[in-house]
Amino acid sequence: MTNHLVDLAVVGAGPAGRALAHRGAGVGLQIALIDPDVDARWKPTYAAWADDLPDWLDPSAIVARSQQIAVYTPARTVLDRPYVTLGTAELQQSLGLDGVTVHPHRAAVLGEGSVQLDDGTVVRARNVVDARGLRDRGAPAQTAYGIVVQRSVAEPILDGAAAILMDWRGTRNDSTPTFLYVIPLDEQRVLLEETCLAAAPPMSIGELRGRLTARLGHLGLDVNDLDVMGTEKVHFALLDTARHPWEPGRPLRFGAGGGMLHPATGYSVAESLSAADDLIAAVATGDDPVRALWPWQARAVYRLRVRGLTALLNLPQEDLVGFFEAFFAAPARHRRAYLSGRDRIGGTLCAMAGTALHADTKLAGNIIRSATRSRIE
């Protein structure tokens, strides 16, 4: 057992955990970071709205920037909001661990004031945070399959846009709808990814691979003729169905597994990076990190976001594209409040109400009924 008491023990060295360790050490806290392979290369492609990222993030972590991003529902809408792609290696390197005590072990037992490692060592801490992500495999999940191609290959699909957030052109209505997501990875490479935003049970990667082939064919590209530079597979749970992130149960969870993941969109990295300083400030001052992360406004917004996920899961399949058409017809400030900001209650409510207002009567009724279902199915 170690006799030294650190200020914060962080379990998990993904973007959320590494950001906590990085920011904590930066203000002089004694930080222990526990992960069997702290320097393992992160695999997912991370992207975010530029204005969601904290000011302290090193600009080198951003490898591509789109000043505008298009949406097809199937009519084309251009959103005037900068969207960025984060380099996995660049982001990881920017979150340096100078001053952090790294324990290259698995956490065997997590307690309120200690972590027992798989070698029997016990790390004692005033605060313990679990940043290992969501592990509830029974929850609704987002899945995706993508291919990486040269930018010149993607230009006909982009049609002058720098990126496409959602492309519903050619979407089938006879099963769970999926859309095409197109973002630059750098100046030369573009990711073309077929995405199932939310489903329970999750849509298989094999199904998504077939849908991507069919959609690209619909848009004039034959996958068999493409020089594919890489592939990406995505599968992650969208929420913890056991409890809300602020409810009793120690240790505190942070990041995707701690409520930083937007359950109706799947975005989590920018919110985790931005929330890191709130948690670190609470640790530094001896305040309750749960209260710092989850004031009543943040709790209310999280519940509303879960209702948004409920609507997505319960809407009739033929209504889903119309739902997004109505959502993107709402005022930009309301869309932004729903997509970003953990405590924007008014804006979140306006976005949800505005979506119903911009839908026809039948669709609006289905949206309301789907969002108010008593449980996620």
Sheet with strand 83-86: strands edge to edge: 46-49, 83-86, 62-66
Residue type, 211: R
Strand partners, 101: 32
pLDDT of residue 194: 97
Cα(250)–Cα(73) distance, rounded to whole angstroms? 43
Strand partners, 100: 31
SS3 74: coil
Question: In which residue are the tokens 């004694």 written?
Answer: 30
Q: Is the dihedral of CA 47, 52, 57, 59 positive or negative?
A: positive
Cα(330)–Cα(57) distance, rounded to whole angstroms? 31
Cα(240)–Cα(257) distance, rounded to whole angstroms? 7
User: Is there a contact between 235 and 202 (Cβ–Cβ < 8 Å)?
Assistant: yes
pLDDT of residue 267: 95
pTM for the full model?
Answer: 0.93
pLDDT of residue 171: 81
pLDDT along the chain (377 residues), means of 10: 81 97 98 96 94 97 97 94 96 97 96 93 96 82 97 94 94 84 96 96 95 93 93 93 81 94 95 97 96 95 93 90 92 91 90 88 87 64
In the numeric block, which tokens belong to residue 285?
Answer: 């001052």
pLDDT of residue 3: 54
Q: What is the dihedral of CA 314, 317, 323, 325, to 10 degrees?
A: 160
Q: Give CA separation, 134 vs 3, 27, 245, 263, 351, in Å.
A: 31, 28, 11, 11, 27
The length of the chain in residues reads 377
Residue type, 223: V
pLDDT of residue 1: 47
pLDDT of residue 136: 66
pLDDT of residue 4: 78
SS3 62: strand
Q: Which residues 6+ apart lie within 8 Å of 316 measured at CB?
A: 366
